[in-house]
Amino acid sequence: MKPGEVRLDFGWGWVSLFPSVPYSIRDQSGLYVLGLAFERQRGVHALGGSRRQDFDAWPGELAVTSPNVEMFSESGMGGEYLALHIQSVASGVESEIPLTVPRAVLRGDPWAVRLGGQLRRTMLAPHPQPQLIEEQAMKLLDHGLSLLKLPRRQDGRYDDDRHAHSRVLEYIEETIDGPLSLDEIAQVAGMPVLRFLRSFSSAVGSTPHAYITERRMQHARALLSATASPIADIAAGCGFSHQSHLGAVLKDRLGLSPRQYRLLAGCA
């Protein structure tokens, strides 16, 4: 296990939740790997012995990697990431995976984001329930397989929209401690509000409001685990209206209060 990793093993493989820390890995797994990004990650990677190249993985991306594919990945910032490592024989999924490439990336599916969030919440519980974790992992796997069988969407505006959304993601990070309105971030994207709503949600699998709330929570988690600052100060510094607002979001998304999360992270 890697430092900070939460892992549970089953007969068909295992489920890992990786923390938002810098990393450098080289792996050639004999398993299928289904991964879901909770945060944006940027770094360098190489697939199947190819040349190393820059990557920019967005939140909401669901990636499926074939067995025995050499994978190198390195990021100086990292990002919270959920991974299912699946033995094809034990799980019986090999005949169901229509994968003709070493790795397929699916973007912006809201149900995958929701299922991944539920699984993260269950894995971080003070007393994890292995049976429930396995059931939720199988739901995410089943949904990922169903997405692979669908025709890929072709949209000529995708690249233009991705550049616009990249500006939005960076703007949100820069202004996370203050109020953010839908009109404001639609202007950053250079789109009318309704088009921005549809386009952004299809890119990251979350509405702008849900995404901003997730980012505020991730910033608060980092401060709760790394500092002894008062919870009220952390809430204000991450853009929450008050301490109880942060508490409600953590309880809803992680099943923990700020104090429980701080204790779980080892910072009293």
Helix (H) or strand (E) holding 224: helix 208-226
| pLDDT at res. 149 | 79
| pLDDT at res. 157 | 54
| pLDDT at res. 96 | 61
Residues 6+ apart with CB under 8 A from 162: 203
| pLDDT at res. 13 | 93
Residues 6+ apart with CB under 8 A from 58: 37, 40, 107, 169, 203, 204
Radius of gyration of the chain (CA): 19
| pLDDT at res. 264 | 82
| pLDDT at res. 126 | 85
| pLDDT at res. 170 | 96
Q: 26 phi and psi, to 5 degrees? A: -135, 125
Domains and CATH numbers, the chain: 6-148 (2.60.120.280), 158-264 (1.10.10.60)
| pLDDT at res. 127 | 86
List the chain residues with pLDDT less than 50. Answer: 156, 267-268
| pLDDT at res. 97 | 64
| pLDDT at res. 268 | 40
User: CA torsion sign, 121 to 91 to 41 to 21?
Assistant: positive
- Distances from the Cα of 156 to the Cα of 2, 55, 57, 162, 171, angstroms: 40, 21, 20, 11, 25
Residue showing tokens 């550049």 = 163
The DSSP bridge partners found for residue 41 are 57
Q: Please write the tens of the pLDDT for every residue from 106-150.
A: 888 999 999 999 999 999 988 889 999 999 999 999 999 888 877
